[in-house]
Each structure stands twice: as structure tokens, then as C-alpha cells.
């Protein structure tokens, strides 16, 4: 009699070996390309293209117009900070109902991080103060460069950049524009990270080797 046919079995071990070889042979994942924002190109365009725009700082009338534009921009920024403080102060009762944990670095203790619990009112008032300080600091630096060092291009540059930086701040978005503090705008508000676009592009075109990435992962696990 003919013995019954037994179902043939596939060599699972060889399949798993081939899959492992494919995984090992697969190239490492490349980092994401750097995110370029239009704001990055404003500074070089204003500094390098001022002559093509017909801005001659040696002309007293043109210089006066640039000074007036800078003063107007600063007045609008400072007025916006004052309006934000008034709006936050008006919502004091509502903002004191909720709390949030904020992690900050203590400069008096060697830059160590400390966590403190603040009400939304205290948090928002602190952020308004930071926005106001940034505006005054920019005004002071540019004003000193213009008066004592006779440097004129920063006047035009900061006339555009200071209002743009203020508008992008979460406290401005939630307070004056009325956006909800959710998602990226959720409290606590962290300062925007400003990576160097050139270093990010270098990382994108020169990804780390597989051995280096594995060593970095092992070091990270040891630290944890």
C-alpha cells in the first residue's frame, strides 16, 4: 500500500534567517529634513537687499523714516504687552481656578531645574512679563548700536522681527487672538526652540552610521 502523503513543511528557520538578514541590510532611517520657516529668510533679505529696495541710510530723510518706523513698532509691541496684562488681570478669578506645573532653571543654583506649581493667572502674568522684557531688551540693544556705534540696518530689521516674534508667542496667541490653550498652545508655555538650519541640513545630508546610532542608543539606555 502507498503511504499517505504528509504535508510538506516550509523551512521556517531559513525564512527567519533571511528576514533578519534583510533587516540588518536595511539602511538606517535618515533624519527628517530641516523645517525652514519664512522668518528665517527675512533677516538676510532685509540686510542684503536694502540697497535694491532703495533704502539709503546716508540720506537724512530715509534715516528719519526708518527711525519713525522702529519707534512705531516698539510702541505697538509695548502697547500689546500692556493690553495682554490688562486682559489677564481681568480674568484673574477664572485663571486662579486651575494650576500647572512649571519647570524652570534656577540661575542662583548652578542652572539646576526646579519644578513649581503656579495658577494659570500667575503663569500668564509671568509670560506677559517675559514678552515685555524681550521687547525692551531688543529696543535697548538696537538703540545702543544705533546711537553709540552708528549702525543703522538693525533698526529696519528689528522693526519687522520684534513684532513677528511677539505675535508667535503663545501668550499673544491665547490672550489677544483668543485661541484656546490646547495642543501646542497648552500651558506651560515653553520658549520656541531655534535650531541652527545649517547644522540641521548637515545632519540630514550626513546621517550617522549604523554602529554610531547603536552606540548612542546603548548610552541612552545606560543613562536611564
* Entry pTM: 0.67
The one-character DSSP state at 54 is T
Give the Cα separation of 217 and 58 in Å (integer).
57
Identify the three-state secondary structure at position 35: coil
Q: Is the peptide bond before 98 cis (omega within 30 degrees of 0)?
A: no
Q: Is the peptide bond before 188 cis (omega within 30 degrees of 0)?
A: yes
CA separation for the pair 199, 219 (Å, rounded): 23
Beta bridge partners of 105: 113
* Chain position carrying cell 480674568: 91
Per-residue pLDDT tens for 41-50? Answer: 777 777 776 7
Which residues, 6+ apart, have CB-to-CB distance to 57 below 8 Å? 50, 63, 66, 152, 153
What pLDDT sits at residue 127?
94
What are the pLDDT digits (tens) for 114-168? Answer: 888 999 999 999 999 999 999 999 999 999 999 999 888 889 889 988 999 999 9
Q: How far is CA 99 from CA 52, 109, 171, in A?
A: 52, 25, 16
- Give the chain's end-to-end CA distance (angstroms, integer): 67
Tens of pLDDT, residues 9-66: 554 445 455 555 555 555 555 555 556 666 677 777 777 767 777 788 888 998 999 9
pLDDT of 45 reads: 75
Using the predicted structure, report yes or no on whether residue 102 has a pLDDT greater than 50.
Answer: yes
What would the grid cell of residue 157 be?
A: 530689521
Q: What φ, ψ does residue 151 adopt, rounded to 5°?
A: -100, 120
How confident is residue 88, by pLDDT bands cut at 50, 70 and 90? very high
3-state DSSP call for residue 112? strand
Amino acid at each position: 500500500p502507498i503511504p499517505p502523503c504528509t504535508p510538506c513543511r516550509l523551512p521556517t528557520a531559513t525564512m527567519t534567517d533571511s528576514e533578519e538578514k534583510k533587516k540588518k541590510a536595511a539602511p538606517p532611517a535618515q533624519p527628517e529634513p530641516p523645517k525652514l520657516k519664512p522668518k528665517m529668510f527675512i533677516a538676510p533679505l532685509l540686510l542684503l537687499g536694502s540697497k535694491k529696495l532703495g533704502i539709503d541710510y546716508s540720506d537724512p530723510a530715509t534715516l528719519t523714516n526708518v527711525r519713525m518706523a522702529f519707534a512705531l513698532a516698539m510702541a505697538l509691541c509695548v502697547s500689546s504687552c500692556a493690553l495682554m496684562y490688562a486682559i489677564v488681570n481681568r480674568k484673574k478669578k477664572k485663571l486662579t481656578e486651575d494650576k500647572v506645573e512649571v519647570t524652570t532653571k534656577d540661575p542662583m543654583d548652578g542652572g539646576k531645574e526646579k519644578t513649581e506649581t503656579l495658577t494659570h493667572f500667575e503663569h500668564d502674568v509671568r509670560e506677559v512679563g517675559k514678552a515685555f522684557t524681550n521687547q525692551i531688551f531688543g529696543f535697548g540693544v538696537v538703540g545702543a548700536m544705533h546711537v553709540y556705534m552708528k549702525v543703522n540696518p538693525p533698526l529696519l530689521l528689528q522693526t519687522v522681527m520684534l513684532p513677528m516674534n511677539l505675535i508667535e508667542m503663545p501668550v499673544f496667541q491665547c490672550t489677544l487672538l483668543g485661541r484656546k490653550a490646547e495642543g501646542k498652545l497648552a500651558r506651560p508655555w515653553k520658549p520656541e526652540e531655534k535650531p541652527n538650519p545649517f547644522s540641521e541640513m548637515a545632519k540630514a545630508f550626513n546621517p550617522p552610521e549604523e554602529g554610531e546610532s547603536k552606540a548612542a542608543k546603548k548610552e541612552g539606555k545606560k543613562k536611564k
